[in-house]
Amino acid sequence: MQKLASIEKPISSGEKSIELNPQDAQTWYDRGNALEAMGRFQAAIESWEKAIELEPKFPEAWYNKGVALRKLGQLQEAIAAYNEALKIQPENPEAWYNLGNVMRKCNRFSEAIASYEKAIEFKPDYHEAWTNLGNTLANLECFDAAIASYDKAIAIQADYCEAWYNKAFILRKSGHNIAAIAAYDKALEQKPEMYQAWYNRGVALADQKHYLEAIASYDKTLELWSKSPEVWNKLGTALAQIGQFEAAIDSWDKALAIEPNDSETWYNRGLALANLKHFEAAIASWDKTIELQPDNVEAWYNRAVALKKSARFAEAIASYDQIIALQPDDPNLYYQKACVYALEKQAGDQKNSREALAISTRQAIENLSKAIELNPQKYRKLCKNDPKLHTIREDVRFLALTQGRQ
């Protein structure tokens, strides 16, 4: 309350001055500044407008009006106010800089670049303007020019964390991971609590296959920001890359506790479970992926493989059929179906009727025929020695297929 009272004082003082001299533009201007400091932006704008009405060539009032309008999200009006300030005072680098910021927010990138260049013309050591010029060039995917702009900012202020961070981000985006990691390290020297830098450093390290260092970076990120499913997901992926599947699953479980509808996390979790030969759990994970993303071919395919390994042949065939509906010209799908039918025949040799065994054989032959039709050279050769097909190898239709007689 004490702080609020001290802020209110200039308003009271200003009101008295206005009563004494309501035609004094400076009094209205000062009143606007005090209101702005209290966060009362609309009232501040009204005071500055009164100052401008009394003194139309009052650049500071126009400029401050532009700042307040930007804070209120009234961007077109802010641009108009900055332009009025610059008509009166065209060498004001701050007005050019803030005009550039609003232009960039409006995706008017060419005009933003021109504004930042004007700010730099009048203030060559304006490191924030160099940095935001770099950001705008990056928006236009002019990455080399953006990096050169960040380098200018860093040359002016070597400990400017934002320039190092943004330079690192663009270096990574343009495929220069080693240089990006070095730039992230520089940013973290200035702001070791900057979790975004730790995270993106981890991504760059993982891209370079430096998984242990990436894991350390993700761990540091999570110390600072533990509620991000994306970080837990990336950590899980890095752990899986070094064969730590149980730890990876634990990480993905933490991601899913925060964001349970991430199909990629469910998919990766299934892969790790399959690597541990926990096929039933893997199938359940891929079921969740498919629930969220019904056209995920990789999930359907891995689910089919796991079902086959679990001797759930009918369900495996149904999974392959789902993929065939999406990719009807893939010969491997028909070949894999043929193998499942052959395995189904082998499993049922002792307990199924001759009629059921004959159906399995016929369906195996039909699918094998389709695979060979789509790619005869590969699949005619492959099926001759595939042990999964040994139960149908003596069938005359199989012999005809492998010898090119259909």
Could you tell me if 318 and 240 lie in one domain?
yes
Could you tell me if 305 and 381 lie in one domain?
no
Q: Calculate ∠ Cα 257-260-266, nearest 5°.
A: 105
Residue 135 lies in a domain: no
Residue 201 lies in a domain: yes
Report the pLDDT value the prediction gives residue 211, as an integer from 0 to 100: 98
How far is Cα 62 from Cα 40, in angstroms, rounded to an integer?
17
Which has more pLDDT, 394 or 337? 337
Could you tell me if 287 and 233 lie in one domain?
yes
SS3 content of the chain, % helix, strand, coil (to 5): 80, 0, 20
pLDDT at 2 over 50: no
Helix and strand totals (H; E) in the chain? 23, 0
C-alpha dihedral (153, 159, 161, 164), degrees to nearest 10: 60
Q: Final residue of a domain: which of 322, 343, 362?
A: 322
Long-range contacts of 278-284 (CB under 8 A, 24+ apart): 279/306, 279/307, 279/309, 279/310, 280/310, 282/306, 283/307, 283/310
Could you tell me if 314 and 234 lie in one domain?
yes
Strands (E), 58-163: none
Structure tokens at 331: 């010969």
Residue 29 lies in a domain: no
Could you tell me if 345 and 360 lie in one domain?
yes
Residue 125 lies in a domain: no
CA torsion sign for 348, 351, 357, 363 is negative
Q: Final residue of a domain: which of 303, 322, 341?
A: 322
Residue 42 lies in a domain: no
Residue 190 lies in a domain: yes
Residue 108 lies in a domain: no
Could you tell me if 315 and 248 lie in one domain?
yes
Could you tell me if 278 and 199 lie in one domain?
no
Report the pLDDT value the prediction gives residue 6, as an integer from 0 to 100: 25
Report the pLDDT value the prediction gives residue 3, as an integer from 0 to 100: 26
pLDDT at 280 over 50: yes
Task: Decide: pTM greater than 0.95.
Answer: no
Could you tell me if 239 and 208 lie in one domain?
no
Could you tell me if 300 and 348 lie in one domain?
no
Structure tokens at 92: 């004001």
With beta carbons less than 8 A apart as the criterion, state whether 102 and 132 touch. no
63-74 average pLDDT score: 96
Structural domain of residue 195, as residue ranges? 176-226
Q: Which residues contact 19 (CB under 8 A, 6 or more apart)?
A: none
Q: Please report, for the domain that includes residue 183, its CATH number.
A: 1.25.40.10
Could you tell me if 210 and 242 lie in one domain?
no
354-380 average pLDDT score: 93
pLDDT confidence bin for 349, thresholds 50/70/90? low
Report the pLDDT value the prediction gives residue 20, as an integer from 0 to 100: 46
Report the pLDDT value the prediction gives residue 132, as an integer from 0 to 100: 98
pLDDT in tens, 229-261: 999 999 999 999 999 999 999 999 999 999 999
Give the chain's domain count: 3
Could you tell me if 233 and 316 lie in one domain?
yes
Residue 202 lies in a domain: yes
Compute the mean pLDDT over every residue in the chain, rounded to the nearest whole number.
92
Query: Which amino acid appears at position 92 of this protein?
Result: N
How far is Cα 228 from Cα 352, in angstroms, rounded to an integer?
52
Could you tell me if 236 and 302 lie in one domain?
yes
pLDDT confidence bin for 5, thresholds 50/70/90? very low
pLDDT at 13 over 80: no
Q: Final residue of a domain: which of 275, 300, 322?
A: 322
Helix (H, G, I), strand (E, B) or coil at 124: coil
